[in-house]
Chains A and B, each alone.
Chain A
């Protein structure tokens, strides 16, 4: 399955909806979107991974790159993910300590609201 990307802004949070496979072929599109959003002043990003079927280290690299960019602007990049097979790669790489990972968009929005 190819990669589908969409985004919307709710309050000060930009929610990026990702669907499909994030790998060496499709990850550049996600990278471009994240760079574009940051360049347009969106520094608080929430990436919804609930419809992601596959994620590899290229995809992780793109998310880490996005996190570095938003942090340079005192921003945040957090994730919504409950799928065990996707969470496993975050655990293997130790990135569960780097990203805020939430069970739902609502939960992430609440946490973001508290942190503001």
Chain B
């Protein structure tokens, strides 16, 4: 198992860096080229949500992202430590319905980003707790991925 871990200050400018790193590792792991845009967008959404949560609640704490190449899957876990009112456990994943325009809430408050992730990754788990949220998502990785020496 190869793992890359990255922690970054909760600044919007660093989200792009996290996207670039995740896409590079996904390519190296053997994720199909046609899925790389989905990886880039889903990781960006998860990191954006975490950065916004940290900026509101704990701007000094870094956001953590782990990238794993494990048993034929490329797995990404984004963890924030922003306190919330969420009860501990796996949350019900949101879906987007066609709401009237006037009913659309703020994208972050409404879980818009998480709904986008659910639409992009074929395997997503959102684990919420009062101490923060963990979003784990994965994509199939082809056997041609580079294995550690």
Contacts of B41 in A (CB 8 A): 54, 56, 89
Cα distance A25–B106 in the bound complex, in angstroms: 17
Interface residues of A in 10-54 (CB under 8 A from B): 21, 23-25, 54
For A57, give its contact among B48, B97, B101 (CB under 8 Å). Answer: B48
Cα distance A97–B104 in the bound complex, in angstroms: 13
- Interface class of chain A by DSSP: helix
Interface residues of B in 100-127 (CB under 8 A from A): 101-102, 104, 106-108, 112-113, 115-116, 119-120
Cα distance A67–B112 in the bound complex, in angstroms: 17
In the complex, what's the smallest C-beta–C-beta distance from A80 to chain B, in angstroms?
20
Interface residues of B in 23-51 (CB under 8 A from A): 37, 40-41, 44-45, 48, 51
Measured as residues with beta carbon below 8 angstroms from the partner, the interface class of chain A is 20 to 34
For A71, give its contact among B101, B113, B115, B120 (CB under 8 Å). Answer: B101
Can you list 26 A-B contacts with CB-CB less than 8 angstroms, sorted by A residue number? A21-B16, A23-B19, A24-B15, A24-B51, A25-B12, A25-B13, A25-B15, A25-B16, A54-B40, A54-B44, A56-B41, A56-B45, A57-B45, A57-B48, A57-B113, A60-B112, A64-B104, A67-B101, A68-B102, A85-B37, A89-B41, A89-B116, A92-B116, A92-B119, A92-B120, A93-B112
